Structure 1
């Protein structure tokens, strides 16, 4: 019985970090979608746009990779939230760099369901998320 009690001793912090993490992912989705000039969710829902789905999916996974590292390495909930903010800014910068430097016309390409452009955007978001996560292993 002691082994079971010891194993479940961290259940409270687990659920706290999980709920905060899910809320941060939802917040990221709202902020990211507000800053992109196209409506990813609308394109996915109304037009079944593969490009929009790939683009937002890559952004969400990239952010969540960094968020997972923040959870694993944080020393408090405040620390976790602060590093989540760093991850959010990094992902937004990644989108901005792709849009303005790497793939000018990205907005139009996503709106036209250009899957190749979406894959590049998603890959860069994943790369930034992985790098972000590695850098959080202070």
Structure 2
């Protein structure tokens, strides 16, 4: 029984560690595709809209990754679907930016909370849909 628990701990550690790495990679790539610097806006300018929007992206990606972990059959499978989740979140930002709210970047830079909330809501919704679609 102890050996089974220890084996489960190894799998937990591997998936959890890779999920944290995926989250860091998401943060780096997401901040590269957005024309505004989230960290600067959040840390130096105390921009709540940027914090809400970026936080929603992180939550949305984490929701998708949780679906990936629950359904992956191997670490390679996890990695492939984590990339799919990252692409989906990036596309969600692009759709909002170019189709639904073309001024969202400017609005977030100006600290408009409603823009941050909408970006967060869409990011979380896409994360939920992404997680649901990854059940196979």
Q: CA deviation at 1:6?
A: 2.9
Task: Using structure 1 for the length normalisation, give the TM-score.
Answer: 0.96
Aligned to 1:68: 66
Unaligned 5+ segments in structure 1 are: none
Q: CA deviation at 1:108?
A: 0.3
- Residue 46 of structure 2 corresponds to residue 59 of structure 1: no
What is the RMSD of the two structures over their aligned residues, measured on CA atoms? 0.9
Tell me the alpha carbon deviations over residues 83-127 of structure 1, each in whole angstroms, 9 at most, x when there is no partner: 000000100000000001111111100000000011001000000
Off by >4 Å, runs of 4+ in structure 1: none
Distance 2:47 2:107 in 1: 11
Distance 2:27 2:94 in 1: 16
> When the two structures are aligned, how many residues end up with a matched partner?
136
Q: Which one is further off, 19-28 or 8-17?
A: 8-17
Task: Using structure 2 for the length normalisation, give the TM-score.
Answer: 0.97
Aligned to 1:85: 83
Q: CA deviation at 1:78?
A: 0.6
